[in-house]
Amino acid sequence: MGLGAVGGLLIALLAAAQPLSGGVTKAASTTCPGAFRANQHEVGGARTVWTVAREDKNKKDKWWPASGSMGVHVVLQTARMPLQTLEISVSYLPPGVRITPAGPEANGVQELKKNYTLTVHDKVVVEGDLLVGPASTVTRVHLVSATFADESEWHAASEDACRVQPDRVIAVDGKESSLKW
């Protein structure tokens, strides 16, 4: 057996040992209208089409993300009915050095949030790459609402309903195949 075959077998075994979520955190609540997941990405690599936050829509002078920008890849799969629109909020920490203090002063850095709208046409699986911009990490992704093909709507009962914490592993150059063991 060649070295390449052994390497491929090792990768297959490691992948099989990973959680069924594929290394992606699934929704923390069963109140989602389907399976909701997210994973964090740096801007670059294979990700070339980004959805811009509603707060950033008027920044027409910057058509490409600044250095140090982060993004998050989201997927919602529903068996209920095809989707038309998703409203999603992404919470993140601004760029910069962090010191994690212990005790009452632990609430040092305030999270920021951006809101996104994904519009699709009659799909039961919706994927999108949401551009956060300069950030040190994406802390959570919250599905706020969904509109279905029959124009019925689903809304999250609270900020804690249907939210995920994205996978923190970021592949080199934004390419999942760059993870080598």
Write out pLDDT tens, residues 90-144: 999 988 766 655 544 445 668 899 999 999 888 899 999 999 988 888 999 999 9
Question: Number of structural domains, the chain?
Answer: 1
**Domain containing residue 65:** 22-178
Looking at the domain assignment, is residue 12 inside a domain?
no
First to last CA, the chain: 18
Tell me, what's the pLDDT at 80? 74
Tell me, what's the pLDDT at 96? 76
Tell me, what's the pLDDT at 48? 62
CA distances from residue 45 to 42, 51, 84, 122, 142 in whole angstroms, order as listed: 8, 16, 28, 29, 25
Looking at the domain assignment, is residue 69 inside a domain?
yes
Tell me, what's the pLDDT at 53? 85
Q: Taking the model in full, what pTM does it have? A: 0.70
pLDDT band, very low/low/confident/very high, at 79 (cuts 50, 70, 90) = confident
Tell me, what's the pLDDT at 40? 84
Gap between the Cα atoms of 147 and 119, Å rounded: 9
pLDDT band, very low/low/confident/very high, at 171 (cuts 50, 70, 90) = low
Looking at the domain assignment, is residue 138 inside a domain?
yes
Looking at the domain assignment, is residue 167 inside a domain?
yes
Tell me, what's the pLDDT at 137? 86
| Statement: residue 5 has pLDDT above 60 | no
Looking at the domain assignment, is residue 6 inside a domain?
no
Looking at the domain assignment, is residue 1 inside a domain?
no
Looking at the domain assignment, is residue 117 inside a domain?
yes
Q: Read off the pLDDT of residues 26-68 as tens digits, 9 standing for 90 and up.
A: 444 448 999 999 988 777 655 567 788 888 877 765 556 666 7
pLDDT band, very low/low/confident/very high, at 7 (cuts 50, 70, 90) = very low
pLDDT band, very low/low/confident/very high, at 75 (cuts 50, 70, 90) = very high
Distance of CA 153 to the CA centre of its chain: 22
Distance of CA 6 to the CA centre of its chain: 33
Gap between the Cα atoms of 105 and 134, Å rounded: 25
Cβ atoms of 65 and 133 closer than 8 Å: yes
Looking at the domain assignment, is residue 14 inside a domain?
no
> For the chain, where are the alpha helices, taking DSSP H only?
3-17
Is the pLDDT higher at 77 or at 170? 77
